[in-house]
Structure 1
Amino acid sequence: MFFAIIFDMDGVLVEFRIDYMRLRRDIIDYLVSVGVPRSLLSIEDLVFTTIIKGISFLRRKRHFSKEDILRVLKKCNCIVESYEVKAAMELSVRDDAIETLSFLRSKGVKLALFTMNTIKVVEIFDAKKRFTHLFNVVVARKGTQILKPNRTFLASIVRELGAPVSKTAIVSDSPIDIVPARELGLTTIMISRDPERIRKARPHMLFPDFESFKEYIFSLYSESA
């Protein structure tokens, strides 16, 4: 039984599909255009890892002011958000996710939504099918803020929920969430069929799809009624 559950949005509550390779290329091309050496950047890195590398390089350049750095960050965020918004317009929240969240709320479980997408993207999903009202806490990206992987942000969510770590779980399809959550002491629940992701994450509990996770939740809380 969990006092609180933190849900990742992408890949768990919604099937969010972005052409990440194209997005990474666009970010790299832009950073190169403002003076970052292409050799410093890799198409294999996560988008925000690439942005961090680029900004770190630019900060060491004497003629780059704080205003210049903010301008570059703003442009990077615009590029990322354009991809996110386009993907969000084509998708909506899963019906069984709404059902599961509603069921958990009815059992008194506190819920948090934790996503690397911007609040604008969350609002687009919410306009299609209201779901944010089911969460006690919603944490979304502001600009190029780095939320994941970040154990500090997870710890702040747990505190805001007023939940003991030992009674809090996180549900995600990515090692980026699972690894820091496990280090923090949360119960980690992974929804994935990807052997490599599973190997990297080493979750406490594993489900191949949301349907099987839903069955577990309904069984767990129905038995305790």
Structure 2
Amino acid sequence: MTAGVVNGDFQHVKYMNDNLVKLTTIIFDFDGTLAALNVDFKAMRSGVLERIRSRGLPTEPFENLFALEMISKAREVLSVSDLSQAELFSNEAFDFIRGIEVTNAREGRVFEGVPAMLLALRKRQVATAVVTRNCRDAVKTTYPDIEGHVDVLMTRDDVNRVKPDPLHLLTVLEQLQADPRSTLMVGDHPMDISAGKAAGTLTAGVLTGSSSREAFLAAGSDLILERVTELTPTHTGDRPDNRETAC
């Protein structure tokens, strides 16, 4: 059963076989989905690699990983011989990337229409959450009112494993007592799509980040949106031309 478009009152996802599932919960990514942060991932990865090198580890096994996965893998390797040094490395590396995130967050901005959309969803009794690999300080620097606009804010500081591990989403679903079958995961990266699928939710890719329409199609996204505010109760009538169905 393949998901299609969001219909006029936005609360339903129309399946290609004409079944309707009412959305009770929407989970959003943050960076690139609800806000523009322009995090310097190149500097982040370079700095983490330098800290790995300073511990006497070869950097080659880490070079194709994201920064968070670099830290996790290096900590695991270091803990085999010295757990205390592994902890020191992990704390130092996380402090480093948190500094970059918060600095970049000061220049970030919430996308136009996002607060109004979130408040409209709440008015319609649709539960909302944000699931992000970013730290809480950075998210709240860019969007100070976020915890008043969503039901759950789940940053990497709040879980042991972050997306694409489905535990990140499953923790939110459990906290909200939400059914994944009537939940939509919305994000700007194929990672968000794979995390949603692994957690059993519907998925929507949004094109306000760095990922292409083709990347979302390849990931099997149920919906592809130009911007997250297309998920708004003010939409009526036919589907806009720029809102695609991933079949």
TM-score category of the 2 structures, normalised to the smaller one: 0.7 to 0.9
- Larger helix proportion of the pair: 1
Aligned residue type for 1:96:
G
Q: Percent identity?
A: 21
Instruction: Please give the residue correspondences for 1:110-189 in structure 2 after superposition, counting only pairs within 5 Å.
Output: 110-127=127-144, 130-142=145-157, 145-189=160-204
Residue in structure 1 matched with residue 111 of structure 2 by the alignment: 94
> 5+ unaligned residues in a row in structure 1: which ranges?
none
Paired residues in the alignment total 213
Aligned residue type for 1:218:
T
Matched, 1:58 2:74: no
Whole-Å separation in 2 of the counterparts to 1:57 and 1:30: 14
TM-aligned CA distance change 1:79 to 1:189, over 3 Å: same
**C-alpha distance after superposition, 1:129-180 (max 9, x if no partner):** x232111111012299541111122112112112212111111111112112
Matched, 1:197 2:218: no
TM-score (normalised: structure 2): 0.79
Question: Secondary structure at 1:95's aligned position in 2?
Answer: coil
Shift in Å, 1:196 = 4.8
Shift in Å, 1:47 = 0.8
Question: Secondary structure at 2:32's aligned position in 1?
Answer: coil
TM-aligned CA distance change 1:143 to 1:104, over 3 Å: closer
Residue in structure 2 matched with residue 69 of structure 1 by the alignment: 86
TM-aligned CA distance change 1:220 to 1:124, over 3 Å: same
Residue in structure 1 matched with residue 243 of structure 2 by the alignment: none
The structure 1 residue matched to 2:36, chosen from 15, 27, 49, is 15
Whole-Å separation in 2 of the counterparts to 1:162 and 1:39: 42
Shift in Å, 1:220 = 6.5
Shift in Å, 1:200 = 4.0
Runs of 4+ in 1 over 4 A off after TM superposition: none
**C-alpha distance after superposition, 1:161-214 (max 9, x if no partner):** 122121111111111121121132211011026145314421111112335x24
Which region of structure 1 is more displaced relative to structure 2, 28-37 or 186-195? 186-195
Shift in Å, 1:219 = 2.5
Aligned residue type for 2:226:
P
Shift in Å, 1:25 = 0.9
Aligned residue type for 2:73:
K
